[in-house]
Amino acid sequence: MVSGPSDIATAAPDPLALKILVAGGFGVGKTTLVGAVSEIRSLQTEERLTEAGRPVDDTTGVAAKRTTTVAMDFGRITISDALVLYLFGTPGQERFWFLWDELAHGAIGAVVLADTRRLADSFAAIDFFESRGLPFAVGVNCFEGAERYPPETVRAALDLDEDIPVVLCDARVRSSAREALVAVVEHALQRSAAARSAMT
């Protein structure tokens, strides 16, 4: 059957596809978040931690962790009929940071996951995105047993600008993790609009 003009006029446009990074320190919940929100089976490059890596992998605070991402995580989430996010989780250990530049190519923004018990582990990711001018939001992953702090307290501790979103989330819960992703998209769109306005 051949489509007529009316069929073409009513066809829904393809949704906008955006690339988002999920970054942060070792064991902060990046793989968990991508797996929790992805509507497809997430791609994970997890390998077991070994004795050979013990001298270079700081497992302080995550002693129970048995695996680590060695390349990336990948997933997809549909935010609305008009917007789909492709998620790329970065590896957390310093020895894999060379992959971050490649993963960041084409991304509109990032979620930096933070653990309040090891907040200093967030600085490397924050510095990475600030130095490249890539919009980001901080998602405070609320681990069981960890003390909860208001977003403004975390903002002050990380010395973040006022416009950078800080949201509390549970990386295991799809709806909660989704809020952190939406915060990044909104922040990136606001930054883009402000830049266009400044040029006119």
Which range is least confidently modeled, 14-23, 76-85, 90-99, 134-143?
90-99
Where do the structural domains in the chain lie, given as residue ranges?
Answer: 13-199
* Superfamily (CATH H level) for 13-199: P-loop containing nucleotide triphosphate hydrolases (3.40.50.300)
CA 48 vs CA 41, 45, 90: distances in Å: 20, 10, 17
Please give the DSSP secondary-structure letter assigned to residue 21.
E
pLDDT digits 0-9 by tens, 67-112: 555 457 899 999 999 999 999 999 866 667 778 898 899 999 999 9
**Cα 4 from Cα 152, distance rounded (Å):** 56
Average pLDDT over residues 21-49: 84
Predicted model pTM: 0.79
**Cα 187 from Cα 44, distance rounded (Å):** 27
Please give the DSSP secondary-structure letter assigned to residue 26.
T
Number of Cβ within 10 Å of residue 158's Cβ equals 18
pLDDT digits 0-9 by tens, 144-196: 888 999 999 999 999 999 999 999 999 999 999 999 999 999 999 999 888 88
CA 3 vs CA 8, 14, 70: distances in Å: 7, 18, 48
Q: Which residues contact 42 (CB under 8 A, 6 or more apart)?
A: 31, 34, 35, 73, 74, 75
